[in-house]
Structure 1
Amino acid sequence: MEQRHLGRTGLRVSRIGLGTLTWGRDTDEQDAADQLKVFWEAGGTLVDTADVYGGGEAEYVLGQLLERLVPRRDLVIATKAGSVPDPDRRFDGSRGHLLAALDDSLARLGTDHVDLWQIHGFDPGTPLEETLQALDTAVSSGRARYAGVAGFCGWQLAKAAAWQLAAPGGRARLAGTQMEYSLLQRGVEREVLPAALDLGVGLLPSSPLGRGVLTGKYRHGTPADSRGASELLGPFVEPYLDETASSIVDAVLTAADGLAATALQVALAWVRDRPGVAAPIVGARDARQLAAALSVEALTLPDEICRALDDVSAPLHRYPDHDWSTL
Structure 2
Amino acid sequence: MELRHLGRSGLRVSRIGLGTLTWGRDTGEDDAAAQLKTFWESGGTLVDTADVYADGGAEYVLGRLLGSLVPRRDVVVCTKAGSVADPERRVDCSRGHLLAALDASLERLGTEYVDLWQVHAFDPYTPLDETMQALDLAVSSGRARYAGVSGFCGWQLAKAATWQLAQPVGRTRLAGTQLEYSLLQRGVEREVLPAVLDLGLGLLPSSPLGRGVLTGKYRDAVPAGSRGATEHLAPFVAPYLDEPASRVVDAVATAADGLAVSPLQVALAWVRDRPGVAAPVVGARTADQLAEALSVEALTLPDEIRRALDDVSAPLHRYPDHDWSTL
TM-score of the alignment, normalized to the shorter chain, above 0.5: yes
CA distance in 2, matches of 1:131, 1:145: 17
> Number of matched residues?
323
Give the Å deviation of 1:170.
Answer: 1.8
Give matches, 1:34-45, under 5 Å: 34-45=34-45
**Percent identity at matched positions?**
82
Q: Deviations over 1:65-116 (max 9, x none)?
A: 0110000000100000000112221210100000000000000000000000
Q: Is 2:190–2:322's contact at 8 Å kept on the other side of the alignment?
A: no
Give 2:125's aligned amino acid.
G
CA distance in 2, matches of 1:317, 1:35: 38
Aligned to 2:181: 181
Aligned to 1:62: 62
Q: 2:275 matched to 1:275?
A: yes
Is the partner of 1:174 in helix, strand or coil? coil
CA distance in 1, matches of 2:162, 2:88: 29
CA distance in 1, matches of 2:322, 2:32: 45
CA distance in 1, matches of 2:243, 2:207: 19
Aligned to 2:8: 8
CA distance in 2, matches of 1:114, 1:322: 35
CA distance in 2, matches of 1:168, 1:306: 39
Aligned to 1:313: 313
CA distance in 1, matches of 2:110, 2:218: 39
Aligned to 1:141: 141
Aligned to 1:286: 286
TM-score between the two structures when normalised by the length of structure 1: 0.98
Aligned to 2:256: 256
Aligned to 1:113: 113
Aligned to 1:123: 123
Give 1:178's aligned amino acid.
Q
Tell me how large the CA RMSD over aligned residues is.
Answer: 0.8
Give 2:80's aligned amino acid.
K
Give the Å deviation of 1:322.
Answer: 6.6
Aligned to 1:159: 159
Give 2:137's aligned amino acid.
T
Give 1:283's aligned amino acid.
G
> Which structure 2 segments of 5+ residues have no match?
none
Is the partner of 1:228 in helix, strand or coil? helix
Give 2:102's aligned amino acid.
L
CA distance in 1, matches of 2:193, 2:3: 20
Is the partner of 1:146 in helix, strand or coil? strand
CA distance in 2, matches of 1:87, 1:177: 25
Give the Å deviation of 1:270.
Answer: 0.1
Aligned to 2:214: 214
Aligned to 1:28: 28
CA distance in 2, matches of 1:318, 1:235: 28
CA distance in 2, matches of 1:282, 1:98: 26
Is the partner of 1:220 in helix, strand or coil? coil
Pair 1:322–1:79, CA change in 2 (3 A): closer
TM-score between the two structures when normalised by the length of structure 2: 0.98
Q: Deviations over 1:250-291 (max 9, x none)?
A: 000000011111000000000000000000000000100000
